[in-house]
Chain A
C-alpha cells in the first residue's frame, strides 16, 4: 500500500520544529537538489571537436509522424555531411528532442547544456511564436523547417505592430530563419490554383473546414484575403473548425455538405488530415464537390495511412513533394532517404515527407555558412545566412531573404492519383506544380487585409 495516512496523520500532530521523521524531508530536498543538479550538469558544455546541431520537433501525439519525418531528413543530411568530410574537418552531431510540455526548456537544454551551435525545428506555429524571446536570447541561429505562421518572418513592426508588445502581428526575431514556405505562400498557391482553374465560371461556393486553433483560423483568413486580392468571385457557404486532434469530424463535415459547396478548403495536417479525409470519404463529400484543397496535407505518411480511402483528383498541397522539381539534388535526396530508411522503424514510410526538403536544406545551409565563415560564431553565421543562396536544394535554388529571413522556397500542389509510382500503397501527386511568391506581389494582393506577407 503506497500510503499510510493514519500513521502519517498522527505524525502531523507534532507542532515543534521538524522532528526527525518530518525533518528527513529537508535532507531529501538538499540531497535531491545537489545530486540531481549535479546530474543535470553531466551533459553540459559543447566540445570544440564536433559541430552540434540541435533539433526540437513534435515527436509524440498528433504529429509524431510529422516530427519523425523531419528528424529523419535532418539526420540523413548530417550523415551525408559526415560521409563527405564533415564541416571544417569536424564531425557533426545532431540531437533531436520532443517538444514535450516545455519546448523552450528543450531549446535551452540543447543550447545551454548540450552546447548546440545551431538549431532546427519546430512543429507548432504557436510554440514558435511563444518561443521568440527565448530563441532571441539564446542567440544561436535557429532555422524553422515546418512552421506555417507568417508572423515569425515579418519584421515590419511599423506597419503590422509588434507581436511581443501585444499590439501586432510582426514577430520577426534576428536569429530566426525559415526554409519552408509559410502559410501566406501556401494559401496564395491555393487561391491562385482556384483562380486559374475554377475562376470565371460564376460565383464559386466555397466552404472551409480546418483545425480549431490559430493555424486553422489563420489559413482560412489568408486564403480569403488572397482570393479577394486575385479577384475571384466567391461566397462562403460554410466554415467549420473541429477540435485539433478530433476523432469525430462527422458533424462538421455534415455542416459543410449542407452548404452545398463547389470547393472545400481545409488546413488539416498529419493525423487530422487522415481523420478528415477518411470521414469525408465515408460521407461522400468528395463525390459531391468539385475539388478539395488541403494546405499541408500532401504527405506520403498521410497517403500511406489512407491507402485506398484517399480519393483521386483532389488537390492537396505541401512544402515539398519528392520528384516535383526535376533536379539532380532532389533525386539524390530521395535515393539516399530510401536507402537509409528502408525497413527502418524510425519512419512510417521510407519516402521523404513534406518537410523533407526544408529540413535537409536547413542542415546543408548550416554546413555552407559554417564553411564560409570558418567557424560557428553565431553572429557570423547569422550575417552569412542573410541573403545566402543554396543552389543544391532539392526544391531548386533558394535564397534566404536578408530582411525577413524567409527562404524563397516554392510550395507544390499536385493531383492525387494512383498512377504515380510511390513506394507505398496509396496515392501520389500527379502533375505537381510549384508556386513561388515574392513580397511585393503578396503586399499587393493582401492590400487592405492587415495581414503581413511574412516574406
Chain B
C-alpha cells in the first residue's frame, strides 16, 4: 500500500474505499452467501482472471485473440489427467495422506499452467506474425484444431486407447481433504468455502502479478505497440518479440484460470476449446472496457451475474439468449469503454457535483 493510497483513504476517495469494501466483501463473502452464490462468485473470479489475462493481449497489446479457449482446454485436460492418472500413479494417497487432494490440486495447477505456457510459446510464435483480423483468425484456427484433436480423441487413437475421451470429455471427483482433524470435500457444491478461498488466493496473486506486468516497462512497451506499432518500432522496441512475450504471458495466466476452473466444474470436454468459449473473455472485456486494468473484471462480473439474474426470471430465461443479447447491445452502444467507461462517467459527474457544492 503506497502513500498515494493511504492519502486517498484519508481523503475519503471513493475509489480507495471501494477497494477496501470490495476486498472486505470478498474475504467474508462465503460466510454471508449461500452455497450456490459462493460458487457463482468463485466462477466469476476465475473468469475475471481469464478476461484480465486475455486483455493483456487485447486491450494492452492490441491483438484480438479469438482462440484463448485453447489455454483453458490445454490446462484443463492436464488437470484432469493429473487427477485421474498422474497423482494415483505417484501414490499421492499414501505420500500425502489426508491432504492428497490438495497436493494433487497444486501439482495439477502447476502442470496445467506449464502446458498452457508451452502451447502459448509455439502458437504465439506463429500467430504474432499476423496482425488484426488475420491474427484473430489464426488464433481461432489453432483453438479449433485443439477442439478437433480433443473431440476426435486423436491422441487416444495414436496410442490405441482413450485419452481425451472424445466428446464426453473427462469427469472426475476431487476427493476429501483431512486437514488438522477437519474433513471436507475440496470442491463441495453445498458448502464451497474451501475452494472459494483457494480461488481467491490464486485470483489475488494472479491479478497483482498482471497489474505489475502492465505497469512494468514491458507493459508500457505493449501499450506503445497497441497505439502505433511503427512508431514503437522506430523507438527501438522489438514489436514482434514483445507481442510474442505478451501472448505467452497471457497464455500462462489464462492457463492458470483454466487450472482452477476445471476442478470447480469437475469436468473438461472439447467445448472448452471451442470458439464459442473463446468468445466469453472477448465479450466480458468488451462489456467491461478493454482500456482499463479492471475493465475485464467488471465485465466478468456483469456477464456472470446478468446471466444468473436472467435465469431467476422465467420469462427472461425462456428467451435468455435474446434477453442477454439486448442487455449487451445496450452496454456496447451506449457506454463509452464498456461498463467501466459508464461508471467512470457517472463518478466524474458525482465528483463534479461534489466539487461544485464544496466550492
Q: Which residues of A contact B (CB under 8 A)?
A: 1-6, 8-9, 11-12, 15-34, 36-37, 39-44, 60, 95, 97-98, 100-101, 104-106, 108-109, 112-113, 125-126, 129-134, 137-139, 163-167, 171, 213-214, 217
* Distance A133 CA – B185 CA, assembled complex (angstroms): 12
Contact A39 B309 (CB under 8 A): yes
- Is there contact, CB below 8 Å, between B337 and A44? no
| B173 touches A (CB below 8 Å) | yes
Contact status B173-A164, CB under 8 Å:
yes
Binding site for A on B (CB under 8 A): 2, 4-5, 8, 13-19, 21-22, 25-26, 29, 33-37, 39-41, 43, 80, 84-85, 88, 151, 165-173, 185, 188-190, 215, 223, 226-227, 265-267, 269, 271, 276-277, 289-295, 297-298, 301-302, 305-306, 308-309, 311-312, 314, 317, 320-321, 332-333, 335-341, 343-344, 346-348, 351
Decide: A37 near B33, CB < 8 A? Known: A22-B292, A26-B22, A137-B190: yes
Q: Which of B16, B165, B298, B337 contacts A4 (CB 8 A)?
A: B337
The SS class assigned to the B binding surface is helix
* Complex contact B4–A113 (CB within 8 A): no
Is B337 touching A21 in the complex (CB atoms < 8 A)? no
Distance (Å) between the CB of A423 and the closest chain B CB?
25
Q: Are A25 and B295 in contact (CB under 8 A)?
A: yes
Q: Give Cα distance in the complex from A225 to B36, angstroms.
A: 43
Q: A2-B336, A37-B305 are in contact. List 15 more A-B contacts (CB 8 A).
A: A3-B338, A17-B5, A23-B13, A23-B19, A28-B339, A28-B340, A28-B343, A36-B301, A37-B40, A37-B41, A39-B312, A104-B265, A164-B171, A166-B84, A214-B166
Is A109 a contact partner of B36 (Cβ separation < 8 A)?
yes
Closest CB-CB distance, B88 to chain A, in whole Å?
8
B-side contacts of A19, CB under 8 Å: 15
Q: Specify which chain B residues have a CB less than 8 angstroms from the CB of A139 in the assembled complex.
A: 190
B170 touches A166 (CB 8 A): yes
Least Cβ distance of B95 to chain A in Å?
Answer: 18
The chain A residue with its CB closest to the CB of B35 is A112
Q: Which residue of B lies closest to A126 (CB)?
A: B168
Q: Are A21 and B348 in contact (CB under 8 A)?
A: yes
Contacts of B15 in A (CB 8 A): 18-20, 22-24, 26-27
Distance (Å) between the CB of A378 and the closest chain B CB? 12
User: Cβ of A40 and Cβ of B189 under 8 Å apart?
Assistant: no
For the complex, give the distance between the alpha carbons of A108 and B266 in Å: 14
Contact A15 B215, beta carbon cutoff 8 Å: yes
Given contacts A12-B291, A164-B171, contact A29 B298 (CB under 8 A): yes
Contacts A3-B291, A126-B168 known; A24 to B14 CB distance under 8 Å? yes
A23 and B219 CA atoms in complex are apart in Å by 19
Given known contacts A23-B19, A25-B340, is B172 in contact with A164 (CB within 8 Å)?
Answer: yes
Verify A100–B320 contact, CB threshold 8 A.
Answer: yes
Chain B neighbourhood of A138, CB < 8 A? 189-190
Q: Known: A4-B337, A23-B15, A24-B343. Is A33-B36 also a contact (CB below 8 A)?
A: no
